[in-house]
Structure 1
Amino acid sequence: MKTNIVLTGFMGSGKSTVGRLVASTLKRQFVDSDDVIVERAGKSIAQMFADEGEEGFRRLESCVCRHLARQEDLVIASGGGALLDEGNRSVLEASGILICLLASPASIRERLATESGRPLFNGNWQALYEDRLPAYISMPHSIATDALTPPEVAQKVVELWRASR
């Protein structure tokens, strides 16, 4: 049964913040796939990238996506690149509604200005953003987050979920 709510989007789009609010509103468990990856790997994502490269990280990410897709009634914040993989997208889409949170490069820069520990943000993140944007736009549902507060985005997620039932 398709009972999960899966949030995707570029880093800094608000997946974790909004996901927690949605989970609280709907009385569901919130799961950040990156947190599950860190727990399983026993090291930070930055350390995984340093030790195993992006390929090693993506392999574990795919395992985590399959694991989460087998569960029900979750609000899942997927990694920014997780659903670019067709296998990950397919299993998570089969488990629930996919919603992409869209944010402009200016909003992302502002939101992530004080954060560290994001290995892909340290490089040419704007090129990465441009590369991923077509995949994000192709998601079944999307919400532009630039002009909205996290609670407003969460409300829109809940409305999309209710309309899909």
Structure 2
Amino acid sequence: MQGNKSMKKCIVLMGIKHCGKSTQANFLSEYFKIPSFDTDDLIFELTGKTPRQIYTELGEEGFKNAEKSACIELKSRLEKIQQTENSKKYIAVAATGGGICNNAEAIKLLSEIGILVFLNADERTAANRIVKEVKIDVDGKLFNLPAYIAKENPRTISDVRESFHKFYVERQKIYRSICNICVDMKNAPKSENRDSIIESLSKTE
């Protein structure tokens, strides 16, 4: 891709886990007739491991490296799409992992190729979605938790909610500081939230 203008044609969706990134990426892909990508999927394609497995085995730095590699791969794929879709306003949409806001190198790459859209989810809604996925083994230990909560070793659902609250507040500040657009996700039909994203994008044109 040549020039800064052409480097801004990807809609990059960001936000905490369960804010609706993957769902909205699919909606926007269908609406704009453009391909949809997911950095977590790209990580798996490149490594054969899920983000959670990489985080567990290699730690935070190992995961950040994998996430950066996924963003490099995304940029490469967009360059190929750009060669045939140069006339389109947007050439792709990409959903990112919930913790990508703490990966400065990945954010730099994404800011070069796209418009960073922060999907601002209500804390209670996001927390309920995380709690819904929690499982308890025969010894009463909680598992199937996001890595950033699991490392806090929560013993109860109340602990999970408390840990999530701290991360929610922290990540809200970071995402607001790095995004180009902030869209409040409503407790409404998914198509209504899609329309809010599209409306916010139109205001940047």
TM-score if structure 2 supplies the norm length? Answer: 0.73
Q: Which residue of 1 aligns with 2:202?
A: 162
Select between 14-23 and 140-149 the one with higher mean Cα deviation: 140-149
Cα distance 1:100–1:65, how it changes in 2: closer, same or farther (>3 A)?
A: same
Q: Which amino acid aligns with 1:22?
A: L
Q: Which amino acid aligns with 1:51?
A: E
Q: Which amino acid aligns with 2:127?
A: R
Partner SS, residue 148 of structure 2: coil
Q: Which residue of 2 aligns with 1:105?
A: 123
Alpha-carbon deviation of 1:15? 0.5
Which string of whole-angstrom CA distances, capped at 9 and with x for unpartnered residues, describes residues 56-94 of structure 1?
Answer: 111110111122134151110011121333332222122
Alpha-carbon deviation of 1:121? 4.1
Which string of whole-angstrom CA distances, capped at 9 and with x for unpartnered residues, describes residues 83-114 of structure 1?
Answer: 33333222212212111001122010222333
Alignment pair present for 1:147 and 2:187: yes
- In structure 1, stretches of 5+ residues that fail to align are none
Distance 2:145 2:45 in 1: 16
Partner SS, residue 113 of structure 1: helix
Q: Is the 8 A contact 2:127 2:164 kept in 1?
A: no
Partner SS, residue 17 of structure 2: coil
Partner SS, residue 132 of structure 2: coil
Counterpart mapping for 1:25-36 below 5 A: 25-36=31-42
Q: Is the 8 A contact 2:119 2:185 kept in 1?
A: yes
Q: In the alignment, which of 97, 111, 136 is matched to residue 93 of structure 1? A: 111
Partner SS, residue 21 of structure 1: helix
Alignment pair present for 1:55 and 2:61: yes
Q: In the alignment, which of 10, 20, 23 is matched to residue 4 of structure 1? A: 10
Alignment pair present for 1:40 and 2:28: no
**Count of aligned pairs:** 165
Q: Is the 8 A contact 1:62 1:82 kept in 2?
A: no
Q: Is the 8 A contact 2:117 2:183 kept in 1?
A: yes
Percent sequence identity over aligned pairs: 27
Distance 2:113 2:13 in 1: 12
Distance 1:8 1:93 in 2: 12
Distance 1:140 1:13 in 2: 17
Partner SS, residue 203 of structure 2: helix
Q: Which residue of 1 aligns with 2:156?
A: none
Alpha-carbon deviation of 1:117? 5.9
Alpha-carbon deviation of 1:163? 3.3
For the pair shown, which has the larger CA radius of gyration, 1 or 2? 2
- In structure 2, stretches of 5+ residues that fail to align are 1-5, 83-90, 134-143, 153-162
